Each structure stands twice: as structure tokens, then as C-alpha cells.
Amino acid sequence: MVIRITRDKHIFKFGPKLKPAAYASPGDIVIFETYDCFAGQIKKETDLVTHIDFSRVNPATGPLYVKNAERGDALVVDILDIKVNDIGICVAVKGAGVLGDKVKNDKTRICKIENKTIKFLENIEIPIRPMIGVIGVAYDEEIPTGTPYKHGGNLDTKEITIGTRVFLPVFREGGLLAIGDLHAVQADGEICVAACEVSGEVMVKVQVLKGLAPEWPVLETNDAFYILVSDENVEKALREATDLAVKILQSSLNISWEDAYMLASLVVDIQISQLVDPKKTIRARIPKQILKDSSKILSAMKASF
């Protein structure tokens, strides 16, 4: 069955009291229509971020109730397709991003997207690589959709793209999945605070793995697994992602902690997803050459409830 959720059904907080916008059974295909992260408030280059209503920033379409998803399960989301519309928005904002103190003038750039290419300036064109900025489930406390954490949320991770499988821990009955904040393209770090922001739609398949809620979101691509850890403090996120990767190698390969630590230094890449959201997101990449079985990874980092 294909279920469509229109963009007028959206949330600004992942919390314990969300009301479902739609229902799905495991195996269903669901299409989420999404606003851009400014909820369509920026239409031309004279529209600046400082002019918009901030209570409407980062809408996430949903939430979707998935039958049979209970606390302690993993919600499995296969990203089958991402379609982006033809207008992309880039912004520079005083005080925002890694170099916010150096921004002298707020600026908006509207980029035309044509033939899978973003026209940033007349002579600067970039191929699109559509990705999802916000993907998450209901959490035990209210967390704004602009913040990433254990439930997912504003992960701004370029690997959350077509073909990727996302594993999220289920906290509340039905999971209550919401998706928004598409980017036509984004580089690691998302250093200026935003990417090429765009509206569009996402097609996913949802499934449930009983009793395998991971402590942090996990991605699976063709060639690797990624553990996504977010914290206000980048060093803390780095340490936690590294600690988890070593723990996963140790228990999945049944080797000593020290061997796993040395092995991680050879094969695990520690990468930066974004450095600009209220919590920063770091990812540990474990190649499938070393570990192929997602259930071993999920078991090794099972959340305790």
C-alpha cells in the first residue's frame, strides 16, 4: 500500500504527545511531501532569514504511526527516492555557522535547479545529491525539530540519501516518524548553517525490528554502516562515536577490547556530519568489509529502556 502525507501535516517538536497524521503497516511505502526548512517563507533574494517567523522553521512532515512498532524496537526506514523542487535556497546569516562572526551582511541566494544541477552562480554549477536533513521519531521529552539526538531529528548527514537504510530507536508506540528539511546538496560540516535548502518529497519503506532499538541512529549503505552521535560538545560526540564503534567491533567479532581498539584505528573513519546545529553530529563509519550483519551492530549498541 502507498500512503501519502501532505506537507500541511507537520510538526516542530519530537515529543511524547504527538498525534499521528497517518498510519502504516510494516512493509508499506510512504511518501512524505516536505517544505524547505524555512517553511516556504523565503521566495526571493531580498527575503532574509532575519525577516522570517522562526517559530515555523524546520517543519517535519508527519508523524507516521507504524503498526507493531513498540518501545525498544528499531524502526527501519529505507529511503527509496528523494525528489527536490527546482528552487534551492542558500543563506549567510550574521552570527550563524562556523564563521558567523565574520558575516558582515545577511544574504540569501536563490539557485535554480535544472537537469539535476544547481546553478549557484552563472559560472558555478554543482550536481545535486539530494538528502534528508530531518528524520526522527517521537522522543520521551520534547525536542525541537532543529536539534539532533538519539531519536534522530536534525542530523544533517549527507549519507541520509537515496538507497540508505536508517535504523531509529522506537520510544513511543507507533514510532511516529517525521521527515523534513531536504537538501539538494550538502557537504560535511554544513559550515555556513544551511545547505541548498529545498522542498520536495521523499518515498520510504517502513519496517520494524523487534527489540533491537539502537542507542543512537544507525545508517546502512551499500558499503558501510554509520553510527550517528550528537552532542553540544564535539569532543564528547567524537568520543562516544569512537567508543561505540570499538564496542561494536569487539562484540560482533568476539575479540578483546584492545584488539577492537587497534582494529578501529585501521578501518573505522570518524567523520563530521554537521557542526552548526544545537547539537553537533559526528559519525563513525564501519566498512562492510569488516562487518556485514546489521543485527550484530544493533545488538552491540542496544539501547536500555
Closer residue to Ca ion, CB minimum distance, 133 or 214: 133
Closer residue to Ca ion, CB minimum distance, 113 or 248: 113
- What is the nearest approach in angstroms of Ca ion to the Cβ of residue 154? 5
Distance CA 107, CA 93 (A): 7
- What is the nearest approach in angstroms of Ca ion to the Cβ of residue 207? 25
- What is the nearest approach in angstroms of Ca ion to the Cβ of residue 262? 36
Closer residue to Ca ion, CB minimum distance, 90 or 203: 90
Closer residue to Ca ion, CB minimum distance, 20 or 146: 146
Closer residue to Ca ion, CB minimum distance, 42 or 260: 42
Residue nearest Ca ion (C-beta atom): 133
Contact footprint for Ca ion (CB under 5 A): 37, 133, 154, 156, 181, 197
Which cell numbers hold the place of 207? 519496517
Q: What SS3 state is found at 157?
A: coil
Closer residue to Ca ion, CB minimum distance, 181 or 215: 181
Phi (first) and psi of residue 300, to 5 degrees: -70, -25
- What is the nearest approach in angstroms of Ca ion to the Cβ of residue 181? 4
DSSP string, 58-110: S-EEEEEEETT--TTPEEEEEEEEEEE-SEEEEEE-TT-STTGGG--S-EEEE
Contact (CB, 8 A) for 77 and 51: no
**In terms of residues, how long is the chain?**
305
Contact (CB, 8 A) for 175 and 141: no
Closer residue to Ca ion, CB minimum distance, 185 or 291: 185
- What is the nearest approach in angstroms of Ca ion to the Cβ of residue 42? 12
Strands (E), 85-232: 87-92, 107-114, 117-121, 124-127, 131-136, 143-144, 148-149, 152-154, 165-169, 175-183, 197-198, 200-209, 218-220, 224-231
Contacts of 122 (CB under 8 A, 6+ apart): none
- What is the nearest approach in angstroms of Ca ion to the Cβ of residue 116? 19
Q: What is the CA radius of gyration of the chain?
A: 19
Closer residue to Ca ion, CB minimum distance, 22 or 42: 42
Cis, bond preceding 63 (omega within 30 deg of 0) = yes
- What is the nearest approach in angstroms of Ca ion to the Cβ of residue 186? 8
- What is the nearest approach in angstroms of Ca ion to the Cβ of residue 228? 13
Q: Which residues pair with 20 in a beta bridge?
A: none
